[in-house]
């Protein structure tokens, strides 16, 4: 974009042409969804600015567990195809980020041991025998409950997000951090830019990837809400005390390759409150000790709470909204890490004017009546 800048010298008007920087796409929100999408758009040659209210990757992505759950009885049926496609993309997705960033993301493929609720036992197939379970996880106290093995992966979301951030910067994505987007600007019925608490940016396309904060950004109300999750992290002794992800109705355990182990997580309707509650952390800790008694020798390294972006129908919101040039990629709830690669792929296709490889009709921003008008 060019503007004329004028001045007067001895009564004569002089004008110079000054260029005002614009971007092809502005992404509001620098979590793993926004970062992954920024990389996908840069691969297509588009200029991208990420506007982040805090520090990129420090909200829901930083708080996530990193289980790449691809199990029908734990996944909304409408989401299953998208979830499976994204899970299959992960090895290549993670490898690319590691190569480009020079950082490890700790993608693990040891699998998951699930202790399902009674309602889901019949759908799980053949349970593990006591001998087989003792071979897989000798420290696990199964209490004679049936359990099952799933061929799932897990990843360290903090390492993944750090690698994605470095990759995005290496690819030329611009960032405005500590900058809260306050409005999406419209001119003649088209997107014209974003206003923040610091300045304004020009663009013809805006993507709302603001997670739990998505509802605070116009021009159409996006019905997301924060859903709080509390977790804690233990230092395993020995470092490989638990090798598989362990999932029960009460708690899940996620080992990391560096000897840490996460135990989570609560699901709470608590608004934007990110405080940890000692009684909730204690319940998670006790549930972890009941599963793995030897964890009593492990010290707690950290506890925290994060805010997942929930939606009224528990499905993500993906696609173009009513105003041309305004896109939404949010509402991933507990599946933001899992769905990052497929979200980046399909949203880059939509933004580029292509037909997405996946059917996004169930996830359209226009499925909510209140989003149909500003």
DSSP result, 145-184: ---EEE--EE--HHHHHHHHHHHHHHTT-EEEES--EEEE
371 pLDDT higher than 90: no
The pLDDT of residue 367: 94
Instruction: Find residue 206's DSSP bridge partners.
Output: 26, 326
For 83-109, write each residue's pLDDT tens digit: 999 999 999 999 999 999 999 999 999
Name the residue among 256, 190, 184, 189 with its Cα closest to residue 221.
184
Task: Name the helix (H) or strand (E) containing 8.
Answer: strand 2-9
Q: Examine the pLDDT at 10 and tell me if it is beyond 90.
A: no
Note the pLDDT of residue 4: 41
DSSP code at position 312: T
Q: Which domains does the chain have, with CATH numbers?
A: 22-102+157-210+313-371 (3.50.50.60), 112-150+226-310 (3.30.9.10)
Q: What pTM value is reported for the model?
A: 0.93
Give the model confidence (pLDDT) of 186-230 as tens digits: 999 999 999 999 999 999 999 999 999 999 998 988 999 999 999
* pLDDT at site 154: 98
């Amino acid at each position: 974009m060019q503007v004329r800048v004028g001045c007067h010298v001895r009564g004569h008007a002089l004008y110079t042409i000054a260029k005002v920087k614009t971007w092809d796409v502005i992404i509001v929100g620098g979590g793993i969804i926004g970062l992954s999408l920024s990389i996908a758009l840069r691969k297509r040659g588009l200029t991208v600015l990420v506007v982040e209210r805090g520090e990129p990757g420090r909200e829901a992505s930083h708080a996530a567990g990193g289980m790449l759950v691809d199990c029908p009885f734990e996944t909304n049926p409408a989401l299953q195809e998208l979830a499976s496609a994204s899970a299959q993309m992960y090895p290549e997705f993670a490898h690319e980020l590691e190569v480009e960033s020079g950082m490890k993301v700790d993608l693990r493929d040891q699998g998951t041991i699930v202790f399902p609720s009674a309602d889901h036992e019949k759908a799980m197939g053949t349970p593990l025998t006591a001998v087989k379970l003792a071979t897989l996880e000798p420290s696990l106290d199964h209490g004679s409950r049936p359990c099952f093995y799933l061929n799932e992966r897990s990843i360290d979301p903090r390492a993944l997000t750090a690698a994605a951030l470095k990759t995005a910067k290496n690819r030329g994505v611009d960032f405005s951090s500590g900058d809260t987007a306050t409005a999406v600007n419209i001119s003649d019925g088209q997107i014209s830019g974003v206003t923040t608490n610091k300045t304004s940016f020009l663009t013809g396309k805006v993507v709302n990837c603001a997670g739990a904060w998505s509802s605070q950004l116009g021009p159409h109300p996006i019905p997301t809400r924060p859903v709080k999750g509390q977790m804690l992290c233990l230092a395993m002794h020995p470092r490989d005390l638990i090798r598989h992800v362990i999932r029960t109705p009460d708690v899940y355990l996620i080992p990391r390759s560096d000897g840490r182990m996460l135990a989570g997580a609560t699901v709470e309707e608590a608004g934007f409150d990110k405080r940890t509650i000692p009684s909730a952390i204690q319940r998670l800790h006790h549930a972890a000790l009941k599963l793995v008694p030897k964890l009593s020798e492990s010290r707690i390294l950290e506890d925290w709470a994060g805010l997942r972006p929930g939606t009224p129908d528990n499905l993500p919101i993906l696609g173009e909204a009513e105003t041309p040039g305004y896109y939404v990629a949010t509402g991933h709830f507990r599946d933001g890490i899992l769905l990052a690669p497929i979200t980046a792929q399909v949203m880059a296709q939509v933004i580029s004017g292509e037909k997405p490889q996946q059917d996004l009709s169930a996830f359209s921003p226009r499925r909510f009546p209140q989003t149909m008008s500003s």
